[in-house]
Structure 1
Amino acid sequence: MLVLSALHDVLTQVLSLPELHTAVLLTPSGQLISYASDPSSAKDHVRVVVGLSGEVWQETQGVSMVDTEVGRILVMPVEKTSEATPQPRTDSEAPEPLMLIALNAVSSVDWQDLQDTGRELANHLAGPINKYRSRLLASAVSPTASQQPRR
């Protein structure tokens, strides 16, 4: 079972304040699962990061990096990755990831450093999250046959 407090602890360990100030775990549809951020930042900031990250993921379906008004945002799937930068995937290559991570840093942070941190975090979370892939996907499926209303 995934424990939200443990996820929060892992995300907190990634932070390098004040440069890398927000780490988010979200679904590909943009639902917030867990986050860690600078204690002085507002939760609205996290919501903006989640919204931008979800939108960027929907457009690219791969590792993405964007410069925004809230700083640099890296979005990547939670899956085992190699050292090479993953390319955007096609529909036939792999199933959609269960979760995404988004890292938000100030504009002075090097993209490669941000990507390295993201890759390390994704690799760390991939095993525990993918253990539950079949169970999570089964719960997302709608009921089998539609039931007839009782009269």
Structure 2
Amino acid sequence: MLALSAVHETLGKILEPPTLHTAVIFTPAGQLVSWQSNPLCAKDDVHLVIGLSGDAWQGAREKGYGMVHHNHLGKILVVPVEDVERKPGEDKPPLMLLALNATDEMEWADMQVKGKALGAALTKSWSKHREHLTVPKPPQSSVAILTGSKRVTTR
């Protein structure tokens, strides 16, 4: 069983304020699971980190990590929380994504070491729960599109 309080506590252990100040766990679909920051940051900033991280992950998935720099937020690194048994060439999305947000003073290499270590640690305890952590893809015949404030369904 996964306890969000334990996830929250684990995220807090990786922080090194003021440089590495925020850690976020979210689904590949962009849904926030948990975050920890020191000093406390606005939830809007956390959602911005998720959006930028998701874009960075899509663009650099084959490398195993994504990086982006934002003028306001600083450096953002995203790494997957993967299945231990993941086979090369599999198209399954990772269980979760982990984003680390730091100031420009922190080196990218240090962020990668910390992010990959935490991602690997989370993988060990989470991979056995994949069927409960992932959302099945919707059927191909029905796709929902959100446009403005109206929900439009196409077939």
Fold similarity call, TM over 0.5: yes
Note the aligned Cα RMSD (angstroms).
Answer: 2.3
Secondary structure of residue in 1 paired with 2:6: helix
Secondary structure of residue in 2 paired with 1:140: coil
User: What TM-score do you get using the length of structure 2 for normalisation?
Assistant: 0.77
**Residue deviations 1:129-151 (CA, integer Å, cap 9, x gap):** 111013334x63669xxxxxxxx
Where structure 2 has 5 or more consecutive residues not aligned to the other structure, the ranges are: 140-155
Of structures 1 and 2, the one with the larger relative CO (CA 8 A, separation 6+) is 1
How much has 1:80 moved relative to structure 2?
Answer: 7.0
Secondary structure of residue in 2 paired with 1:131: helix
Counterpart in the other structure of 1:31: 31
The question of 1:47 aligning with 2:71 is answered no
Where structure 1 has 5 or more consecutive residues not aligned to the other structure, the ranges are: 82-89, 144-151
The equivalent position to 1:98 in structure 2, one of 78, 87, 95, is 95
One-letter amino acid of the counterpart of residue 57, structure 1 = W
The equivalent position to 2:79 in structure 1, one of 71, 76, 80, is 76
The number of residues matched between the two structures is 134
- Whole-angstrom distance in 2 between the partners of 1:40 and 1:136: 27
> 1:80, 1:123 within 8 Å by CA — same for their partners in 2?
no
Counterpart in the other structure of 1:10: 10
| Percent of pairs with identical residues | 47
User: What TM-score do you get using the length of structure 1 for normalisation?
Assistant: 0.79
- Whole-angstrom distance in 2 between the partners of 1:111 and 1:54: 18
How much has 1:47 moved relative to structure 2?
Answer: 1.3
